[in-house]
Amino acid sequence: MSANELPPTSGGGAAAAPLHTGPASIHGADGGTAGTDHSGEGVWSRAWRTLRRNPVAIGGFVIVALFVLVAVLAPVLAPFGPSELPGRAEIRPTHIPGPSSDYLLGLDRYGGDVLSKLIWGARASLLVGILSTLFGLAGGMLLGLLAGWFGGWVDFAAMRLVDLMLSVPSLLLAVSIAAIAGQSQMSVIVAIGVVQVPIFARLLRGSMLSQRGQDYVLAASALGLTRRAVTMSHVLPNSVGPVIVQATLTLATAVIEAAALSFLGLGGGEPSTAEWGRMLTAAQQELAVAPRLAILPGVCIAITALGFTLVGESLREALDPRNRTRR
């Protein structure tokens, strides 16, 4: 430990500074327009340009776009409704009809049209994915922001809470939460969202702390900006990159976790619900007879997760500061 390794802005001194509404408001007011007036190329537009030229990212975007399109247009695309069982009469205990001209991907054991259920399932997955990620993002950002902003004991308390949540394996945490929230799709969304909260919180806090140590933050506080202004106009915008990347990747995880929760019988509704995880679970019984019933929803989940993962990973790469500076 030598002297020059001391933290540049020791938490104590700076954290004690009171929060004020000073000249900062002027700064925050139309900060956005200044950036667009003088285009140059900012971090985000550069990342966007990199993404557009990256075939992996394009692949990811195409998958995601298709998925969203199918989910949104489900009522138009699906030959049957989400809970219709058009082929109920054709099901025998020993026989589940395969693909035919009526049912392009065949029927399941309840007599539902597999194609329709897959299309409606996309809608359910999109809903769960987006809502739970938003939930996790909002909760995590709030917690991380509190910790990164106030420091001191608030930070301590927030981080202990995060430790606590991370000390339980994610699926168990989700299951416990779903148990409280009851049997419904909403409870699955909340459960998956809560599991993501500590991850986002820790990420944002770490990111903010590392930005805090940068000279430009010091320079900004030396300009007389209040702590809030510095946080809002410098620290936060520079810290959200990793959080946004994580959110993209979480969309993939959420789709998978939702399937896992319905596999465990959480999430409520009929066993014949048009939902990929549920379809996969039901298909377990017919693995030897009709493997397609398991493979089709499984592949749908995997491809959707792949799309979000590819986008997330290429975004991470594009935002990596190591690739940012030209040398």
> Binders of another protein among 163-182, rule CB under 8 A?
163-164, 166-172, 175-176, 179-180, 182
CB of 105 to another protein, least distance (A): 17
Minimum separation from the CB atom of position 73 to another protein (A): 24
Which window, 67-75, 107-115, 119-127, 226-234, contacts another protein (CB under 8 A)?
A: 226-234
Establish if 94 lies at the interface with another protein (CB under 8 A).
no
Size of the site for another protein (CB under 8 A): 88
In sequence order, what E strands does the chain have? none
3-class SS at 92?
strand
Helix axes 170-181, 236-263, angle to 10 degrees: 70
Q: How far is the CB of 70 from another protein (least distance, A)?
A: 18
Contact mark string toward another protein, 185..214, x via CB under 8 A? -----------------------------x
Residue 290, helix vs strand vs coil: coil
Q: Are 47 and 314 in contact (CB under 8 A)?
A: no
Q: Which tokens belong to 293?
A: 């019933």
Q: Does 215 bind another protein (CB under 8 A)?
A: yes
Residue in 117, 123, 205, 234 binding another protein, rule: CB under 8 A: 234
Q: Which is nearer to another protein, 197 or 310 (CB)?
A: 310
Q: Does 98 bind another protein (CB under 8 A)?
A: no
Q: Is residue 32 at the binding interface for another protein, with CB under 8 A as the rule?
A: no
Choose between 77 and 306: whose C-beta lies nearer to another protein.
306
- As measured in angstroms, the least distance from the Cβ of 168 to another protein is 5
Listed ranges 16-24, 66-74, 75-83, 113-121: which one lies at the site for another protein (CB under 8 A): 16-24
Stretch that binds another protein, among 17-25, 70-78, 92-100, 106-114 (CB under 8 A): 17-25
User: With binding defined as CB under 8 A, does residue 23 bind another protein?
Assistant: yes
Stretch that binds another protein, among 29-37, 78-86, 112-120, 198-206 (CB under 8 A): 29-37
Binding mask 43-72 for another protein (x = CB under 8 A): xx-x--------------------------
Residue 48: both structure tokens together: 């966007």
Per CB under 8 A, the segment of 14-22, 75-83, 88-96, 111-119 that binds another protein is 14-22
CA distances from 95 to 88, 98, 178 (A): 12, 9, 35
The residue among 209, 207, 194, 206 whose CA lies nearest residue 161 is 194
The length of the chain, given as a count of residues? 327
Buried b (16+ CB within 10 A) or exposed e, 264-280: eebbeeeebbbbbbbbb
Rounded Cα–Cα distance for residues 155 and 146 (Å): 7
Smallest distance, another protein to C-beta of residue 294, A: 5
Cα–Cα distances (Å) from 3 to 6, 7, 50, 92, 251, in that order, read 6, 9, 41, 79, 44
Q: What sign does the dihedral 127-131-134-140 (CA atoms) show?
A: negative
Site for another protein in 243-302 (CB under 8 A): 252, 256, 259-260, 263-266, 277, 280, 283-284, 287-288, 291, 294-295, 298, 301-302
In DSSP terms, 92 is beta-bridged to 95
Distance CA 186, CA 177 (A): 11
Indicate the DSSP class of residue 274. S
- The reply on whether position 325 binds another protein by CB under 8 A is yes
Please tell me what DSSP assigns to residue 103.
S
The nearest distance, CB 290 to another protein, in angstroms, is: 11
